[in-house]
Copies of this chain bind each other. A is one copy, B any other.
Amino acid sequence: MKWEEIGGQTCSIARALSEVGDRWTLLVLREAFLRTSRFGDFVERTGAARNLVADRLHKLVAADVLERRVYQEKPERFEYRLTQKGRDLYPLMMALVHWGDRWHDDGRGKPIEHVHRTCGHVMHAEPTCSECGERLDPRQVDVRPGPALLAEEG
């Protein structure tokens, strides 16, 4: 099976991965969240080849995760900004950071820290139940087919 077909599955993870499940794509998004906006900066800070950065930026724009805007005419210069769809990847990024912090600590502590301005503490993202607010324990969560899967089977 090829990657173009993956997005066609009735599975939100597969669909999400078909748009942002690529290694360079995720590094580009890391930079976007750190306010990088210009082509050259993406190349420099991700370490990816220029053609790959160009390709990933264009795909992200096509997917409406980033938008490309002119920030200067003559000569035309562009910037790439997160859209709402892109900003919604924040929980994903925070989850990646936290997992990396926890399992890839080389003994020197965290590479970066997140400070919650509201409470003033160094924090990480803690997933909770959207309905009752309790901290999520995977063992307390049942998975069952949703409308889309049921429609498909029946």
- Chain A positions within 8 Å of B, measured between CB atoms, are 1, 3, 5-7, 9-17, 19-23, 26-27, 30, 33-34, 47-49, 85, 87-104, 106, 108-119, 121-134, 136, 138, 140-149, 151
Contacts and interface: CB of A to CB of B under 8 A. Distances in A.
Given A92-B95, A148-B110, A123 B115 contact: no
The 8 lowest CB-CB distance pairs between A and B, nearest first, are A12-B100, A109-B147, A110-B146, A119-B132, A16-B100, A121-B131, A1-B47, A15-B104
- At the interface, is chain A mostly helix, strand, loop or mixed? mixed
**How many copies are assembled?**
2
B127 A102 contact: no
A93 to B, nearest CB: 7
B108 A151 contact: yes
A111 B150 CA distance: 8
Contacts of A89: 99
B123 A129 contact: yes
Contact of A119 (B17, B91, B111, B131): B131
A85 B101 CA distance: 12
